[in-house]
Amino acid sequence: MNINFQTKNMESTPAIYDYVVKRVTNLGKLLSKLEEGNNEAVIRFDVSKITNHHKSGVVFSADCSININGKNFYSSVSKEDLYEAIDAVKENLFGEISKSKDKKNTLFHRGARKIKETIKGIKNWRK
């Protein structure tokens, strides 16, 4: 897993970097199942301060893009608190990756059921 972290209009601190890495590695369980062979997940996480002159309201933005085996997952959230924005991005990506994984499994099982029904139909037809 390759993590690229970038900040814009604000100073990058070790605390923010550690928090982002902790949240992204929580997605590692899902990503490790999607990584097959020599493919590696490339994660780009951008944290920015939207405006410099506002002191309240939506001030912070967090964007995350994950590229794995040619599949792209993206989430962007703007919140009042930086850490809330990072958590919301993680939750959005978790749902998107889970949905993609479940869809793949569902399609496989649906195809297997269809083949089984076809074989049963041919078997019953010969009697």
pLDDT in tens, 74-83: 999 999 889 9
Q: Which of 13-17, 37-41, 61-65, 105-109 has the lowest mean pLDDT?
A: 37-41
Domains of the chain by start residue, with CATH: 2-96 (3.30.160.100)
The predicted structure's pLDDT at residue 105: 78
The predicted structure's pLDDT at residue 17: 92
- At 107, is the pLDDT very low, low, confident or very high (cuts 50, 70, 90)? confident
Q: What is the pTM of this model?
A: 0.76
Return the residue matching tokens 């924005």.
85
Q: How many residues does the chain have?
A: 127
Percentage of the chain exceeding pLDDT 70: 87
- Rounded CA separation 92/123 (Å): 47
Q: Give φ, ψ of 6 to 5 degrees.
A: -140, 140
Cα-to-chain-centroid distance, residue 89: 8
Burial class (CB in 10 A: 0-12, 13-18, 19+), 125: exposed
